[in-house]
Amino acid sequence: MNIIKGKSGGIWSFFWFTLVFGLILAFIGLNIGIAFTLRLPATNISLSGGVSLGKKEVVTEVLPSYLRDRIADNKNFINQTHTVTIWVAEGIGICIVGEQPEAPNIDLAFNFKR
């Protein structure tokens, strides 16, 4: 029972985070994206993750291109994508493990867009 509570708790936390901060950011017209990637040595496999929050029409634009093109894609070993849309706000959380030739070896990106 605790395992089920833990998994649903994470999704509910993302929902409330999007509800509160996503709506505020959408109303002021700001989009925020945070992403990282780390390539495993001597392989073509990368571990990448990111979160973006803001107005739903442009929320994907604050993610780096190596994540933006793989939202809900099925060409990786693991692709866990969560999206929450509440009225004009949207939140995207993504975690990818797999071959990503376009991803850099190490990257930490903070993007803001108005």
For residue 103, the tally of other CB atoms under 10 A from its CB is 24
Residue 4 has pLDDT above 50, yes or no: no
Residue 32 has pLDDT above 70, yes or no: yes
What's the confidence (pLDDT) of residue 66?
85
CA gap 99, 101 in Å, rounded: 6
Highest mean pLDDT among 35-39, 43-47, 59-63, 85-89: 35-39
The reported pTM is 0.79
What's the confidence (pLDDT) of residue 7?
53
What is the per-residue burial (b if ≥16 Cβ within 10 Å, else e) of 54-84? bbbeebbebbbebbbebbeeeebeebeebbb
Q: Over the chain, what is the mean pLDDT?
A: 84
CA gap 71, 51 in Å, rounded: 11
